[in-house]
Chain A
């Protein structure tokens, strides 16, 4: 443990050693993978918060405006696609509905994808060492739900549930928060390549269900969203 502390302290000292000058504000463009986590990634019928989200692409425009030496205000605007339900997911749900409603058969149809757009702002501190810059940021802001999958379930053999059950996620704007760490490498005077890890969490869209006349089985009211993104990008100093 002592070795770990020593190495960590040494690293911070090395970075801080070159951190005295006012750093240049920058603008960057990022692309990469957005991976759902927790309930958002869960794909079980029994968990009423499971989102059945999948890995998808994310694109973002990100900038840091340095207000005092290494301290900046970071702004991130990003789009995330967390995919759509797969055939395996809809089968899992259909199986669950069949069992819990004691139905003869159930058909689940999913349409649509998880799309969100975020605007997150927060304080950022940058450590520089030669051509490398490590940015650490905590941020919070707004998350616009652009679309969520809607599910239609149709069952036979359940006299109390003859109609379709339609489950739809709401849109709207939510509060979200998270943090990220980015490592920039300056390969030219004003340009740098970046590798970034970004974590975003929000309480997720409310889900409305219509047509459910038999009060058994899965009932979803909200799907919390929780993603970790790994992106690469290019930044240009302003």
Chain B
């Protein structure tokens, strides 16, 4: 009977060990949307997207414009390519945000304007050197464009004497647009 007791004891021990083991397992998956970014640490994929390339025959320049909007947030960036020709393509490469020379970006949020209407307004300034847009691939036949972007927008609040009260920074990181369809048009502005 000793063998029997030992066997029962062993089975009971294994049973108890199995019963007590209770782990917490957690995983996070991020959007695989064609246009996405990380805004202040949270993944964000806009549901309203506008992408276009516009050729201006008067100035002989081409503008790549891209905007995405969702959850009262909007991200916009634009690149002006000078000395261009009237084709749906665009030069790949890294475009540093310079604000003045045609590469700019904005982070907007839904705010109430002076008339009481809710409109998308700039949330801070995206200044020169605060980020870049990289166009890695473009298919001018299918009209699809691929690239990445990242920048930060800084909002500074001043008091009546011009002293800085606060500075808030919105970080738009890990931005990506993958095979994003775009429209092409040619018209004078």
Contact = CB atoms under 8 A, between A and B. Distances in A.
Interface of A: 29, 31, 56-57, 59, 79, 81, 84-91, 93-95, 97-99, 102-113, 115, 156-157, 159, 234, 236
B120 to A, nearest CB: 16
Interface string B1-19: 0001001100100110011
Contacts of B27: 87-88, 90-91, 93-94, 107-108
List the 6 shortest-distance A-B pairs measured between CB atoms, nearest first: A94-B29, A91-B27, A90-B27, A95-B29, A105-B43, A109-B26
Interface in B38-66: 42-45, 47
Contacts of B42: 104-105, 156
A3 B26 CA distance: 55
Contact of B29 (A57, A98, A159): A98
A112 B31 CA distance: 27
B178 to A, nearest CB: 15
Contacts of B23: 84, 111
A102 to B, nearest CB: 7
A157 B24 contact: no
Report whether over half of chain B's contact residues are helix, strand or loop; otherwise say mixed. mixed
Given A94-B28, A98-B31, A157 B43 contact: yes
Interface residues of B, number: 29
A31 B14 contact: yes
B21 interface: yes
Contact of B21 (A99, A109, A113): A113
A29 B29 contact: no
Contact of B30 (A59, A87, A104, A159): A104
B32 interface: yes
Between A97, A98, A112, A113, the greatest number of chain B beta carbons within 10 A of the residue's beta carbon is seen for A98
B113 interface: no
Contacts, number: 94
B161 interface: no
A87 B14 contact: no
Interface string B63-78: 0000000110000000
Contacts of B14: 31, 57, 59
Contacts of B141: none
A236 B43 contact: no
A89 B24 CA distance: 12
Contact of B8 (A29, A79, A106): A29
B112 to A, nearest CB: 19
B7 A111 contact: no
Contacts of B100: none
Given A87-B27, A110-B26, A104 B8 contact: no
Contacts of B142: none
Contacts of B22: 84, 111-113
Nearest to A107: B28
Contacts of A107: 26-28
A31 B11 contact: yes
Nearest to B42: A156
A104 B29 contact: no
A208 B29 CA distance: 23
A106 B30 CA distance: 7
Given A111-B24, A113-B22, A98 B30 contact: yes
A58 to B, nearest CB: 10
B25 interface: yes
Nearest to B26: A109
A85 B25 contact: yes
Contact of A104 (B7, B11, B21, B44): B44
